[in-house]
Amino acid sequence: METHASGKNARPGVILTFLSLIGLVWVFECASANAWTAFMIVAEIILVLIFIAGFIASAVKTGCWKYVNTSIKDLEENESIVINKALKAGYALFSLIALCLLIIFALIGKPVSIVMAVAMILLAYLIPISIIAWTNNGKPS
């Protein structure tokens, strides 16, 4: 599988993607608990743009997004090993994060918002991609 590896951009892109996703949820939860202000709306827009830029840098330009969206039949053996490890670790990590978030929200008595649910779905997709981008700089080893 051919990638357009941009290893130097992969790690900062991964960091930007996750921090902006956390920021998006945090600003939304704060705004929905209080009141939406112009500052919060602008912050959300900026965070969406940062999220998109980080995703492009870490997943699209490196080609890592293709790995988790490709049939196992179309991969070489070393690629399937890298992807299998990333998927296993990614989904285990996602399960822990999701469980912790759900327990925290249950303990504080706050319902899970649609934005939090969407962010968790995105997280399940992004973690394996990010593991590949971070550990292999966008290249199967």
pLDDT at res. 138? 52
Per the CB < 8 A criterion, the answer to whether 55 and 47 are in contact is: no
Q: What are phi and psi of 134, to 5 degrees?
A: -70, -45
DSSP conformation letters of 93-116: HHHHHHHHHHHHHHHHT-PPPHHH
Cα separation, 106 vs 136, in Å, equals 37
Q: Is 2 contained in some domain?
A: no
pLDDT at res. 140? 52
Q: Is 65 contained in some domain?
A: yes
Per the CB < 8 A criterion, the answer to whether 5 and 62 are in contact is: yes
pLDDT at res. 10? 83
* pTM check: above 0.85: no
Q: Which helix (H) or strand (E) holds 52?
A: helix 38-55
Q: Is 141 contained in some domain?
A: no
Q: Is 64 contained in some domain?
A: yes
Mean pLDDT by 10 residues, the chain (141 residues): 56 92 94 92 96 90 81 82 90 95 93 93 92 72 49
pLDDT at res. 17? 94
pLDDT at res. 139? 56
Q: What's the domain range around 99?
A: 7-136
Q: Which DSSP letter does residue 84 get?
A: H
pLDDT at res. 80? 84
Looking at the structure of the chain, the number of domains it has is 1
